[in-house]
A and B are shown apart, each in its own frame.
Chain A
Amino acid sequence: MATGSRTSLATVRRARGSTHRTPWGAIVLFMAPAAVLYLGLTLYPTFMTFYNSLNHLRSDRGMSYQFIGFQNYRDLFQDDVFFAAAAHSLIWAAVSLFLEVPIALVLALILANKIRGARFFRTAWFTPVLITYPVVGVIWLWIYNYDWGVLNVLLRTVGLGSLATAWLGTPQTALPALILITTWMFVGFDMVILLAALHAIPQDILEAAAIDGATKYQATLNVTIPLLRQTLVNLLILCFIGKMKQFALVYVMTRGGPLWATETVATYVIKRAFEWQTLDLGYPSAIAVVWFIVILGCTVIFGRLLRGRDSVEY
Chain B
Amino acid sequence: MNRRLNRRSLVAGIGMVGAALVAACSSGTSPSAASTAAPAQAPSSSSAAPTAAVAKPASAANAAPAAAPTAAPQAQAATGSAQKIQMNWWTHGAEEVNKKKMLGILVDTYHAKHPNETVTITWTQMPGIWQQLQAAFTADSGYPDIFWFDRTHDQWAVAGWVADLTNGINWSNLADWGKTAGLMPGPDGKDHIYLFPEYASTGELYYNKQMFKDFGINVPANAQFGEADFKTVVQTVTGKGVAAFANANGDRTTPGQNLPTYLLLSKLGQDDMVKLYKGQIPWTDPRVVAVFDYFEQLVKLHAYPATFSSMTLSESHHYFHTEHKAAMFPCPSWYTARAFVSVDQGGQPADFQLGFLEYPAMKDGQGITQKYLAPGGAQTAAAKSKYRDQAIAVVNGYTDVDWATQWVGVTSNPTAVKIDATKIKSNYPSYWNDYFKAQDGYTMVVNSDPSNVATPGQYDVWVQVVSSGLAGGLLTAQQAIQQLDAGWKKNAK
Which A positions have Cβ atoms within 8 angstroms of B?
A: 17, 21-22, 24, 27-28, 31-32, 35-36, 39-40, 44, 59-64, 141, 144-147, 149, 166, 168-171, 255, 257-260, 271, 274-279
Contacts and interface: CB of A to CB of B under 8 A. Distances in A.
Interface in B12-27: 13-14, 17-18, 21-22, 25
A145 B310 contact: yes
A278 B159 CA distance: 10
Interface in B111-138: 130-131, 134-135, 137-138
Nearest to A23: B6
A24 B456 contact: no
Contacts of A277: 152-156, 456
Contacts of B32: 60-62
A257 B464 contact: yes
Given A22-B3, A278-B155, 17 more contacts: A22-B6, A24-B6, A32-B17, A36-B18, A62-B32, A62-B140, A63-B138, A145-B311, A166-B307, A171-B474, A258-B309, A259-B465, A274-B134, A277-B154, A277-B155, A277-B456, A278-B456
B212 to A, nearest CB: 23
A40 B14 CA distance: 11
B457 A62 contact: no
Contacts of B159: 59-61, 279
B430 interface: no
Contacts of B18: 35-36, 39-40, 44
B219 interface: no
A28 B12 CA distance: 10
A169 B10 contact: no
A28 B13 contact: yes
B29 A63 contact: yes
Interface string B224-268: 000000000000000000000000011001000000000000000
Contact of B130 (A21, A147, A274): A274
A61 B159 CA distance: 7
Interface in B30-49: 30-32
B464 A259 contact: yes
A144 B310 contact: yes
Interface residues of B, number: 53
B14 A24 contact: no
A282 to B, nearest CB: 14
Contacts of A61: 31-32, 159
Contact of A145 (B131, B138, B158, B307): B307
B13 A259 contact: no
Nearest to B8: A24
Contacts of B456: 275-278
Given A60-B161, A258-B469, A169 B309 contact: yes
Contacts of A22: 3, 6
B475 interface: yes
Given A27-B10, A61-B159, A40 B21 contact: yes
Q: Which 10 A-B pairs have the closest CB atoms?
A: A169-B309, A60-B159, A62-B31, A276-B456, A24-B6, A146-B307, A40-B21, A59-B138, A39-B18, A63-B29
Interface in B54-85: none
A147 B152 contact: no
B474 A166 contact: no
A28 B311 CA distance: 58
B94 to A, nearest CB: 16
Contacts of B468: 257-259
A28 B310 contact: no
Contact of A35 (B14, B22, B155): B14
Interface of B: 2-3, 6-7, 9-10, 13-14, 17-18, 21-22, 25, 29-32, 130-131, 134-135, 137-138, 140, 152-156, 158-161, 249-250, 253, 305-311, 456-457, 460, 464-465, 468-469, 472, 474-475
Contacts of A276: 456-457, 460
A274 B17 CA distance: 32
Contacts of A169: 249, 308-310, 472
Contacts of A44: 18, 21-22, 25
B306 A147 contact: yes
Contacts of A259: 464-465, 468-469, 474-475
Most B Cβ at <10 Å: residue of A24, A59, A144, A169? A169
Most B Cβ at <10 Å: residue of A22, A255, A259, A278? A259
27 contacts: A21-B2, A24-B9, A28-B10, A28-B13, A32-B13, A36-B17, A39-B18, A44-B21, A44-B22, A59-B134, A59-B159, A60-B155, A60-B156, A60-B160, A60-B161, A145-B311, A166-B306, A166-B307, A166-B309, A258-B309, A258-B468, A258-B469, A259-B468, A274-B130, A276-B456, A277-B153, A277-B155
A64 B31 contact: yes
A279 B307 contact: no
A279 B10 CA distance: 40
Nearest to A172: B474
Nearest to A171: B474
A27 B456 CA distance: 52
Contacts of B135: 274
Contact of A60 (B22, B158, B464): B158
A4 to B, nearest CB: 26
A64 B30 CA distance: 10
Contacts of B469: 258-259
Contacts of B31: 61-62, 64
A39 B472 CA distance: 48
A55 B161 CA distance: 22
A36 B309 CA distance: 47
A267 to B, nearest CB: 12
A40 B306 CA distance: 50
Contacts of B137: 60
A101 to B, nearest CB: 30
B77 to A, nearest CB: 30
A81 B159 CA distance: 27
A64 B2 CA distance: 45
Contacts of B7: 24
A267 B281 CA distance: 32
Contacts of A64: 31
Nearest to A144: B310
Contacts of A166: 306-310
A208 to B, nearest CB: 50
B310 A146 contact: yes
A53 to B, nearest CB: 17
